[in-house]
Amino acid sequence: MSFDTLAPQYRNMEALLAGNILQRCRTAFLAEASDCRQALLLGEGPGRFLVELLQANSRVQVTCVERSPQMIQGARREVTRKGLDGERVMFEQCDALEWQPPLGVFDLVVTHFFLDCFRCDELGNLIAKVAISATDDARWLLADFRQPDSGWRKWRAKAVLALMYAFFRFATGLSASRLTPPNGFLEAAGFRLAGQRLANFGLVHSDLWLRGRR
């Protein structure tokens, strides 16, 4: 799976197809990151959430795990364009499934429009691995697509998701062919859902997951 071919036009493509909906979902729980010290961003892409985080939290140190070198270049350019301190960001160019995590380091984990890229078996392994790298009181922010339970919203979402997976499997070699909700895996890793916001008739959601007694 590689997003290199889409990287140069990724932001334009997102704006054309979704306007600012996805970015609003990324930042829905940004206030929860205001006092975090070590953040892990997985599949950050061209850096749209990264710059918001750096602006909202002047002390946070960020590790970005991103497979695409083109996406990393785009994120670095965005940090520089915004006049932010690039020394606070460490990029690790690797496949998240092969990434070797440190133990209990990150008090913030962010996976925006990323977990939907993986098959069920891959997703379970990935979340378990990332959970090892999180602190006992970590926060996990995620934004992603979802399928409503019933009605026209469900059938609309099914059509959109089918088209989306067909496109990304062709363009990037995406392994997943359908959406796997991550909730069960997050709960097994000790996180609980503390907040959720829906957008675009229930097609997109933003979640706040908390670990421990927070």
Q: Is the pLDDT of residue 146 over 90?
A: yes
**pLDDT tens-place string over residues 159-193:** 999 998 998 888 888 889 999 999 999 999 999 99
pLDDT of 122 higher than 60: yes
Pairing relationship of beta strands 204-211 and 134-145 according to DSSP bridges: antiparallel
Give the model's pLDDT for residue 43: 93
pTM of the predicted model, to two decimals?
0.93
Quote the CA–CA distance of 68 and 153 in Å, as a whole number: 33
Task: Name the band, by pLDDT with cuts 50, 70 and 90, for residue 75.
Answer: very high
Residue-level pLDDT at 17:
60
Instruction: Give the separation between CA 29 and CA 103, rounded to whole angstroms.
Output: 25
pLDDT digits (tens, 9 = 90+) for 2-61: 566 665 666 666 666 666 899 999 999 999 999 999 999 999 989 999 999 999 999 999
Polymer length in residues for the chain: 214
Q: List helix spans (H) across the chain.
A: 10-18, 21-26, 48-56, 69-81, 120-133, 151-172, 183-188
